[in-house]
Amino acid sequence: MPTPVRVRFAPSPTGPLHIGGVRTALYNYLFAKQHNGTFIVRIEDTDQTRYVPGAEDYIHEALAWAGLTVDEGVHAGGNYGPYRQSERKDLYLKYAEELVAKGKAYYAFDTPEELEQWRKQRKEAGDHTPQYGMHTRMALKNSLTLSKEEVKARLAAGEPYVIRAQFEPGHTYAFHDSIREEVRFASEELDDKVLFKADGMPTYHLANVVDDHLMAISHVIRGEEWLSSTPLHVFLYEAFGWEPPTFAHLPLILKPEGKGKLSKRDGDRMGFPVFPLEWKDPQTGEVAMGYREEGYIPEAFINMLAFLGWNPGTEQELFSLSGLIEAFSLERVGKGGARFDPDKAKWFNEQYLRTTADDVLAGQLAQQIDTNLSTSQLSTICGLMKERVSFVQDIATSGKYFFEAPTAYDAKMVKKKWKEHSPTIVKELRERFAATDFTAEALEATFKAYIEEKEIGFGAGMLPLRLVITGVGGGPSLFAIMEVIGKEEALRRIDIGVDAITQL
């Protein structure tokens, strides 16, 4: 039987989740679902210095909003818990000690001050990037240089120590990456990374590998920034005698200009969100915009994210989550960075908006605005406007005339389209509308009969009429607008509008 697919999204709660993180979660989710596997979320919170209150809740909320249902995790539970590393902290030391016993790691007693001093000296001596590793460790204070007795005594006295990986020269750490194929690192390039810290917590590297093993993770799908840590992880799997998972390192999401990693600053500069949900920094109080609050439909957001690094190899761009589950493959994820395009993000939302039922949009709109209009009126408005806007809330601004009489009239339009005869035409039309059933069809028929009878052009009647009723020159069918606002209001607007524009 093939090994069951078990993948994990392993964020550190150090701030709001970047959309790159949501994309990592999405690819893990798609891969899991496609293989009838399990999507696990593990919170990697062993770095106490980087803990940010609210960040973990934010992660759970963002995944839920995006529709990525978690199979195992802090809230979903599961047989491999706990799923928060801080709650697993007692189990890591024994693994670090096992590595020491196997000669794959060692205790180091250098204090931070001593290391700083050492680095400074190395730099002065011409070594610009001093590394604690195979070339330097014999000059430092660790269990490879101190006597056994002294090491024992220091440990017994409770002296602070760290445990470091012990790389030896002449080894190559190679692994197959599903996206990058063969990746190789020579041990000489690697430094003796800290695995276990003086505060009694494992580092990311140790906890990540131990947990991936204990949680029976089959595939590690994560961001490119972790590629250079993978040789250390492969070393750890070998040292423990464990089978490593399959690795897949996802490309970076790049700035709209195409160079450099997409950052919050790009979003601020160009006015688009880089976070799924709004985030208020607990320290500075600064608020960063979120896709949810900007009015993005979660399915559109997910569709857009899926295409940041992957493509189906066909022209098709619109995919539901289940369509993505079917179409996704790691082989079709690119190696090169994926350029983020804020206009394309909007485009995806527009496509989803157009296919959302009018009454669903009406329900959403009703939550965002204060109005006396009925649900069925709102639903008609949404139907008339959804082709013309990017977000549901834009309906209330672009289609302001549905909700209130104009308070101003587009000056350019007035200048161009309000002619000498316009007041007469609009007033005569008013009289005929007063005797018409207020349905779009009947109003249109009345209008057409009038312009034919008077032998005037369509625009000569329509544009002045549109101006007095809506204040602007464009929009959906004016007769449909009139039907929604009703006879009394439409006639009132005509009366006020003709006077107001004539006096301009």
Per CB under 6 A, which region of 4-12, 149-157, 334-342, 441-449 contacts ligand GLU?
4-12
Token readout for 212 is 């991936």
Provide the β-strand partners of residue 162. Answer: 108
- Smallest distance, ligand GLU to C-beta of residue 364, A: 33
Q: Does residue 208 interact with ligand GLU by CB under 6 A?
A: yes
- Smallest distance, ligand GLU to C-beta of residue 3, A: 19
Whichever of 80 and 347 has its CB closer to ligand GLU, that residue is 80
d(CA 96, CA 380): 65
Whichever of 74 and 426 has its CB closer to ligand GLU, that residue is 74
Per CB under 6 A, which region of 7-15, 171-179, 387-395, 482-490 contacts ligand GLU?
7-15
* CA angle 499–502–504, rounded 5-degree value: 110
429 backbone φψ class: left, alpha, beta (φ>0; ψ -120 to 50): alpha
Catalytic residues: 264
- Smallest distance, ligand GLU to C-beta of residue 381, A: 44
Token readout for 172 is 């190559």
d(CA 188, CA 198): 26
Please identify which residue in 31, 92, 109, 226 interacts with ligand GLU, judged by CB under 6 A.
226
Q: Are strands 279-280 and 338-339 parallel, antiparallel or unpaired?
A: unpaired
Token readout for 250 is 């996802």
Taking Cα atoms as reference points, which of 457, 472, 474, 453 lies closest to residue 422? 457
CA distances to 33, 156, 344, 459 from 69, in Å: 10, 47, 26, 53
Mask: binding to ligand GLU, 345-364, rule CB under 6 A, as x and -? --------------------
Whichever of 12 and 390 has its CB closer to ligand GLU, that residue is 12
Whichever of 193 and 222 has its CB closer to ligand GLU, that residue is 222
- With CB under 6 A, what is the number of residues at the site for ligand GLU? 8
Q: In what order do the strands lie in the sheet with 105-108?
A: 105-108, 162-165, 194-196
User: Which residue type is seen at 216?
Assistant: A
Q: Does residue 29 interact with ligand GLU by CB under 6 A?
A: no
Q: Does residue 12 interact with ligand GLU by CB under 6 A?
A: yes
The CB density around residue 236, as the number of other CB atoms within 10 Å, is 25
Query: Contact, 264 vs 19, CB < 8 A?
Result: no
- Smallest distance, ligand GLU to C-beta of residue 122, A: 29
Query: Contact, 371 vs 350, CB < 8 A?
Result: no
Applying the rule CB under 6 A, the residues between 38 and 77 that interact with ligand GLU are: 44
Please identify which residue in 10, 62, 297, 490 interacts with ligand GLU, judged by CB under 6 A.
10
Whichever of 107 and 247 has its CB closer to ligand GLU, that residue is 247
- Smallest distance, ligand GLU to C-beta of residue 69, A: 19
Whichever of 276 and 476 has its CB closer to ligand GLU, that residue is 276
Mask: binding to ligand GLU, 177-206, rule CB under 6 A, as x and -? ---------------------------x--
d(CA 96, CA 101): 9
Q: What residues line the site for ligand GLU (CB under 6 A)?
A: 10-12, 44, 204, 208, 222, 226
